[in-house]
Structure formats: structure tokens, C-alpha cells
Structure 1
Amino acid sequence: MALSFPKPSKLISFSLLLLMALVQSPWDVNGEQDLVFFLQDVTKGPNATVAAVAGVKGKDWSYTTFGSIYVVDDPVTEGPNKNSAPVGSAQGLLVTSSSDGSSLNVIMSIVFTNLQYNGSTLQIQGVSRQNENYREVSVVAGTGRFRSARGFAALETVYYDPNTTYSVIRLSVTLLSSSGP
């Protein structure tokens, strides 16, 4: 004779499902999710991750020259050390968009290749004021685990070596509750 168990009530089933969802939720009590990554950025030399691709004819192409356009493919890591575990890459465009050269327009995709978010992306866009250590831009979209993401991202330069043009930029992303996993 087979064992028979009573059918769980709908209330118990719903309660268990709700409990599982709450335990697995990455959101904090304010309905936000915070992620922190580090961009490993090199602007010159054979290992450059940033390259000038266009600018105003007859003018120097530099970060402070209006109209200069750069492509970016920075490695993104879990920690500030360049040997930290890879998370993905930051791919996009930087455009010197202010006539005095003080601001860049950032259009960037964070393309995840790590196990947790593999195949997902976050789209970042906004004005980055170059002379400020803390720069805030918008998270305007996402794919995969971050489908329809929205929120904001802070870019902070935590290390810069002018001799090698190597810098580490902390990317602190805050996703609002209707975004992401």
C-alpha cells in the first residue's frame, strides 16, 4: 500500500512560494539592488582599451577637445585589482560633447560574461563631467537578467597612473525595483 499525503491547501502552497521568492530576492528593503564593479581602463599604448576614432578636422583629438569621439572596450572586474575575477566588459562610445571640453557623453553597454549574469547587459547613458571624481549617469535599459533595467550608476576614479595612462574606475550601479533579477 502506497503512502498517501493530504493535499496541501492553496494558502500553504502560496505561502511557501512567497517565502521562497522573498528569500531569493536580491532587492533590499527600499526596492533597490546595488552592484559594484571596476573598469580597468588604459588610454595609450599596445594594451589600450580606449581609442580615438573621430574628431574635428585640424584639431587635436583629445578628451578635452569638443567633437572628439572614442570607442571603449574596458575589462570589468569584481575588484579594483586588474587580476580580480572578470565580470565582463564595458563597450561603447565617449564623445566630448561640451564646447569647453569639460564633459563627455557616455553611451556604454556593460556586457556580462561571468557565471551569474552571463549574456546579460546593462545600458548606461549620460553626461560625465571629467573634472569631478564622482560622476553619475543613467541606467536606461538592460537585457537578460536585467531586462528593462532602470536606475543610475556612479563612476568614480579610484586609481590613475599618468605614466601608463592606466586607471581603475569604480562603477556603482543602483537598479530600481522594477529592474533586473
Structure 2
Amino acid sequence: MAAANSVWISLLVSIIIVILFIQAVPTAHSQNDEDQLIWAKRVVSGNQVITNLQFYFHDVVGGRNPSAIRIAEAPQTKNSTTFFGSLMMIDDALTVGPDPASKPVGRARGMYGSAGQTDFGLIMALSYVFSDGIYDGSSFSMLSINPATETVREMAVVGGTGLFRMARGYAIARTYWLNAATGDAIVGYNVTILTYV
């Protein structure tokens, strides 16, 4: 009986820590606050580490120096309203703020493709590689459907390297800015990752 109570108390303490951690994560800021913004927070509870990351993803499809380029498409793609069958390779900047000139914290590298025949759902196979602070050289991987036209999207974190080795978790994405003519976009990410000490 005492062992069962101990397990419940430990679980309750972990839940409280997670709730406090999530409430402490900044969700909005002004350009003037950017230097003070903490883009990553870690909480250690026993042998578990919960990390929350807040950053912006800059996907540049148009212009002279795109960070996302089409590498393949099916013959039917040109007739599809959802670009079904197209595949993009990306090397997108990750920054602290939505301004492309804000502090860089890493790169998103990999592929996404249009996987929906009737809706705009992107299959994402990406590595988010970080270059700032203690996360320098660490990465997490995402493999998930991104219903890109929805205001808020949830995607799965399926692994990682460095401080994110054995990662599991989820990413909440919100489009901050979109140029419908070029396809360029800035997307805010709030990522929660569970790893072990």
C-alpha cells in the first residue's frame, strides 16, 4: 500500500512540475524584449528531463536564395489543388523571434511533401538541429502530418541526438506570417520533449 501511495505522489509531483514549467514558457514578446527571451527551458525530475523550446521556422520558397526547393513531383501534381505528390527539400533557419534577422538558434533540415489529395496536409520528415548554448549540436526529429492550413497544428517528435537522445514529444505550430503568392512562411513552434538523464 505504501509503495502504491509513493508512486501516486511521485506522479502527482511530476504533473505539477510539468504544469508549472508550461506556464513559465514565454509565448509572445516584442522585438525590444528579444535579447532577454529565453527560447529553451529544462526541468529535471528524477531521471526524466522535460525540455520546452520556443522558436520560429523560416521557410523561404521564392526569391533568389530559397531555403526550400522542389525536388520531385508526380505528373498529376500540376492538376492538383493541393499540390499532391510534390516533394520539397529544406534547410530553413530557426530563430528566437519572428524577424528573420533575430538571433539564430539552429536549422530545420529534411523534406516535406504534399500528402493530401483533398486537403493540404504535409508529411514532415525533418531534423531540427540546434547551434545555441547547451543545445549546440543536439537535434530532434519530427515525422508527422502537418495540416498546414489549420491555425494550430500538433506534430510528433520521434527521436533525437545529443541532449535530445531518445526524445519523444510533440510540437505545436502556428503560422505567424504567410505570403500566399510565393509560399514563404514564418511559423512559430512550441516544442515539448521528454528525455532521460
Q: Do they fold alike, i.e. is TM over 0.5?
A: yes
Larger Rg: 1
2:43 is aligned to 27
Deviation at 1:49, TM superposition (A): 1.1
Give the TM-score of the pair, scaled to structure 2. 0.70
Per-residue deviation, 1:147:
0.7
AA aligned to 1:109 is S
Take 2:97 and 2:80, find their aligned partners in 1: how far apart are those partners? 29
> What residue in structure 2 maps to residue 155 of structure 1?
173
Figure out how many residues of one structure are paired with residues of the other and give that number. Answer: 155
Which structure 1 segments of 5+ residues have no match? 1-24
Structure 2 equivalent of residue 79 of structure 1: 97
TM-score by length of 1: 0.76
Taking the aligned partners of 2:50 and 2:98, their CA distance within structure 1 comes to: 23
The 3-state SS of whatever aligns with 2:150 is coil
1:69 aligns with 2:87: yes
Among the aligned pairs, what percent are the same residue? 32
Measure, in 2, the Cα distance between the counterparts of 1:117 and 1:31.
14
Give the 5 Å matches for 1:74-153: 74-153=92-171
CA drift at 1:156: 0.9
Shift of 1:93: 0.7
* 3-state SS in 1 of match to 2:163: helix
Provide the rounded CA distance (Å) in 2 between the counterparts of 1:110 and 1:61.
32
Structure with higher helix content: 2
> In 2 relative to 1, CA 94–164 (structure 1 residues): closer, same or farther, beyond 3 Å?
closer
Deviation readout 1:81-109 (Å, 9 max, x if unpaired): 11111111001111111222421101110
Please tell me whether the aligned partners of residues 54 and 61 of structure 1 are also in contact (alpha carbons under 8 angstroms). no
CA distance in 2, matches of 1:80, 1:175: 22
Looking at structure 2, the residues matched to 81 and 37 of structure 1 have their Cα atoms a distance apart, in angstroms, of: 11
Task: Map Cα deviations across residues 37-90 of structure 1 (whole Å, 9 max, x no partner).
Answer: 111121112121111111112542988221111111110011111111111100
Instruction: Give the Cα separation in 2 of the matches to 1:62 and 1:50.
Output: 20
**Aligned residue type for 1:52:** R
CA-based RMSD of the aligned residues comes to 2.4
1:43 aligns with 61
Give the Cα–Cα distance (whole angstroms) in 1 for the partners of residues 137 and 81 of structure 2. 31
Instruction: Detail structure 1 runs of 4+ shifted over 6 Å in the superposition.
Output: 28-31
Contact 1:37 1:79 in 2 (8 A): yes
Letter in 2 for 1:43: V
